[in-house]
């Protein structure tokens, strides 16, 4: 079994996290999606030193980051941010970038559902083109309705991945599935081709 974890919820130096997870038997880590915090050479050295590989990264769609934003400039900045996370993953040897498309904590939409869907698909297609070039897979993660209004269920994530591209995947979190899915096991089985 392959054990991996993330570091985005830990307010500590990456080296501290790596030492602990190595001791507990983890093999890889999903690096926090803040590229300006990680110098690639230093991060690679730490990963190598502790025998942990970069599994990938996760976008932190906080504040102004929102692929579903009505404002085109805000969306463009958000696309550039997600692309920087994809590039960081590639530079660190990562395989996957988990993407939450809309701002976490934003529960009121700015546009009509079909408008926002089109905005997100267009934004993700731009990011997807980079991910294909650098060999990193996108994995779209639905969150529960208390954290975002956009993309809450596994079937929505699969539909969005299908709209983006053939190698776009989904990332299903049991915490969110347990809140949003009538049958989380059926949701996982239905997404099996994109997991």
Q: What pLDDT was estimated at residue 117?
A: 99
What is the pLDDT tens value at each position of the chain, 195 positions in all?
A: 888 999 988 889 999 999 999 999 999 999 999 999 999 999 999 999 999 999 999 999 999 999 999 999 999 999 999 999 999 999 999 999 999 999 999 999 999 999 999 999 999 999 999 999 999 999 999 999 999 999 999 999 999 999 999 999 999 999 999 999 999 999 999 999 999
Query: Is 177 inside a domain boundary?
Result: yes
Query: Is 124 inside a domain boundary?
Result: yes
CATH number of the domain residue 148 falls in: 3.20.20.150
Overall domain count for the chain:
1
Q: Domain range holding 68?
A: 58-190
Cα–Cα distance between 161 and 129 in angstroms, integer? 13
Q: What pLDDT was estimated at residue 2?
A: 86
Query: Is 195 inside a domain boundary?
Result: no
Query: Is 27 inside a domain boundary?
Result: no
Q: What pLDDT was estimated at residue 49?
A: 98
Query: Is 50 inside a domain boundary?
Result: no
Query: Is 143 inside a domain boundary?
Result: yes
Cα–Cα distance between 146 and 17 in angstroms, integer? 29
Query: Is 181 inside a domain boundary?
Result: yes
Query: Is 135 inside a domain boundary?
Result: yes
Question: Reduced to 3 states, what is the DSSP secondary structure of residue 33?
Answer: strand
For residue 4, the tally of other CB atoms under 10 A from its CB is 16
71-79 long-range Cβ contacts below 8 angstroms, 24+ apart = 75/119, 75/123, 78/123, 79/123, 79/126, 79/127
């Amino acid at each position: 079994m392959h054990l991996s974890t993330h570091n985005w919820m830990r307010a500590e130096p990456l080296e501290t996290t790596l030492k602990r997870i190595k001791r507990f038997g983890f093999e890889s880590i999903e690096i926090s999606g803040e590229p300006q915090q990680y110098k690639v050479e230093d991060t690679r050295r730490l990963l190598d030193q502790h025998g942990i590989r970069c599994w990938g990264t996760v976008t932190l769609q906080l504040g102004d980051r929102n692929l579903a934003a009505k404002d085109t400039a805000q969306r463009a900045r958000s696309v550039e941010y997600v692309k920087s996370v994809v590039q960081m993953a590639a530079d660190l040897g990562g395989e996957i970038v988990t993407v939450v498309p809309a701002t976490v904590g934003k529960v009121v939409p700015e546009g009509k559902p079909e408008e926002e869907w089109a905005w997100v698909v267009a934004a993700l297609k731009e990011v997807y083109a980079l991910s294909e070039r650098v060999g990193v897979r996108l994995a779209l993660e639905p969150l529960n309705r208390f954290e975002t209004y956009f993309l809450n269920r596994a079937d929505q994530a699969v539909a969005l991945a299908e709209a983006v591209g053939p190698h776009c995947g989904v990332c299903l979190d049991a915490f969110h599935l347990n809140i949003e899915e009538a049958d989380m096991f059926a949701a996982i089985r239905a997404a099996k081709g994109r997991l």
